[in-house]
Each structure stands twice: as C-alpha cells, then as structure tokens.
A = this chain, B = another copy of it.
Amino acid sequence: MPRPANRPSLTRERIESEALALIEREGLDAFSMRRLGQTLGVEAMSLYHHFPSKAHLLDALVDRVLASVPIPSREQDPASRLRQLVRHWRDIARRHARFYAWLSLHRWNSATGVAFLAEVLACFTDAGLDSERAARGFRALGYYVLGATLDETQGYANGPASLQPLTQVELETLHPQVAQAGRYFTPDQFDTTFELGLDVLLSGLGLLRR
C-alpha cells in the first residue's frame, strides 16, 4: 500500500530528529522502535530499512548531537577555548538530558566525537604542557565534566530515587551536616559549584599558567 499523500517519506533525517524529540518527551526506557514507528505513522519494521538496528540508530543520534557542538576559534587562548568547549558540553547534556544517559557512556570515537575531544586536548598542549601532562589533564578534566553533567541531569535533583529513602526528619536527625549542605545542592546552585571545581582543575592542571 502506498503511503498517504499527507505523510512525508521516511528519511534518516526525519527518523533521527523524531527519535531525539521522543526520547526527551517520554524517556530513554520508554523509547522503542515500535513506539518510534508509531509517532512517525509507520510500522516499526520500516525503520530497519534505514538503520540496521536500534543500536545503530542510537549511535547516529550520538553523532548528530555531538555534531551540533560549535568549535571555538583557535585564535583564542587555550583556557578560554577550554571553558567554551566545556560550556557547550554541559549545554548538550541539559538540552538532551534524558538521552544524555546513553550519550555520555558511549565512546565518542566517531569522526565527530574524536574531533571534539581533539579540540579539548589541544587546549592542554597549546597551554604549553608536555604530552603526558596534557593527556592526563585532559582525562582528569573529562572525568569531572562527565560526572558533573551526569549528576546534574540524572542525579540527585532529577534522577531515580531510592525506593526506601531516608525521610527529611531522619536525615536531619542522623546527618545534620548533610541536611544543611542540601541548601547548596539545588539546581540553581549547579553553575556556581561547577565553576568552583572547574577553576580548581584548570589552575591545578596548569591551564592558567603562561
């Protein structure tokens, strides 16, 4: 049966953009080839004509999101290029919060992913660090940003709760220091805390030296 005239033909482009939107709307767990087919007005099996598997589709989404990251001009100094790259990294985490659980834990070793990481590494070498210090600093900074973005998008504020959590009263009784610190763990505090750790790392890893 030919598709109705009012339904645009299926393309990788349409599938990918609807997939990203669907994941943010309904979550990664609810995302399935069948559900995606539904929202595109098509049988799930039609998707396999464009992507050989669900994993291939998700992989294409990783690439698509990474490709949307702007690369700062190399004319700027390494530290401010690095700050921009990190900011863009956090931006995609927030813009694709639910997909980020997949995105962040898959190797960024496509051409697009490596290109982004190469820019980050270049900031370290351009700052005058030898190759070992640059490599290790790059990696340590990556740990920090990975953890921060995951925690901010999946963690305390938004993430799945323990099924038998401590009540607020128990928390205040048993761990008053933790209860008090909670004041600094709300989403409006994310930026300040993130920048604090980032400054410590940039300075300690030798990015701010001449």
Q: When chains A and B are docked, how far (Å) is the Cα of A8 from the Cα of B14? A: 54
A165 partner residues in chain B, CB cutoff 8 A: 107, 109-110
- Which of chain B's residues have a CB closer than 8 A to the CB of A32? none
Compute how far the CA of A135 lies from the CA of B182 in the bound complex, rounded to whole angstroms: 8
User: Does A1 touch B at the CB level, under 8 Å?
Assistant: no
Assess whether A107 is in contact with B143, with CB atoms less than 8 Å apart. Answer: no
Residue A155, interface by CB 8 Å:
yes
**Contact assessment for A166 and B204 in the assembled complex, using a CB-CB cutoff below 8 Å:** no
- How many copies of this chain does the complex contain? 2
Select A142's contact among B115, B125, B151, B164, beta carbons within 8 Å: B151
CB of A181 within 8 A of chain B?
yes
Q: How many residues of A contact B (CB 8 A)?
A: 75
Q: A163 within 8 Å of B by Cβ?
A: yes
Chain A 106-118, CB within 8 Å of chain B: the 1/0 string? 1111110111011
Question: How far is the CB of A173 from the nearest CB of chain B, in Å?
Answer: 11
What separation, in Å, do the CA atoms of A112 and B180 have in the docked complex?
18
Q: Which of A18-26, A77-85, A189-197 contacts B (4 or more CB under 8 A)?
A: A189-197
CB atoms of A140 and B200 under 8 A apart: yes
Residues of B within 8 A of A189 (CB): 136
